[in-house]
Amino acid sequence: MKKIVIIDTNFLLIPGQFKVDIFTQINDLVMEPHEMCIVDRTIGELNKLTVVGKEKDRFAAKLALVLTIQKNLKTLRSFGSNKSVDDIIVKKSDCNTFIATQDKALRQRVREKGAKIIGLRQKKYLVIT
């Protein structure tokens, strides 16, 4: 069975903020067949950041939008629910899921559902925790 790697909005900003190739590193870390995904609401969050974010965040968000298309990330639908992106990620989390995020509260919630977490260390490399 293919594993799912759900990439949170803040994680998509890493290439623009720290010049880390998260996609290659995720492929190197996750040794089993997997598919990288984002939640449909993530695009909205990135678009909002390109307008109202700080200058460095606007650049990172624009790069993230380009990368989501270039890397052909699968979009997980939230089906019109008015839940936050974090709530949707938690709902889709299970033992076959990796969640790439820097959000401490989100990490705790998905860990309780058995998902593995991919995080950034020393602003240079990714690790599974």
Q: What is the pLDDT of residues 71-96, one digit of tens each?
A: 999 999 887 667 889 999 999 999 99
In angstroms, the CA 49 to CA 38 distance is: 16
The number of folded domains in the chain is: 1
Which amino acid appears at position 66 of this protein? V
What is the three-class DSSP state of 116? strand
* Residue-range definition of the domain harbouring residue 19: 3-128
What is the three-class DSSP state of 93? coil
What does the pLDDT read at residue 78?
81
Does residue 6 register a pLDDT over 70? Answer: yes
Angular region, 44: left φ>0, alpha ψ -120 to 50, beta rest: alpha
Q: CA–CA distance from 90 to each of 70, 93, 104, 120, 127 (Å)?
A: 26, 5, 13, 20, 20
In angstroms, the CA 80 to CA 29 distance is: 33
pTM to 2 decimal places: 0.95
What tens digit of pLDDT does each residue of 12-60 get? 999 999 999 999 999 999 999 999 999 999 999 999 999 999 999 999 9
Does residue 115 register a pLDDT over 90? Answer: yes
What is the three-class DSSP state of 114? coil
In angstroms, the CA 109 to CA 86 distance is: 9
**CATH number, domain at 78?**
3.40.50.1010
What does the pLDDT read at residue 81?
67
Give kind and range of the element (H or E) at residue 97: strand 97-100
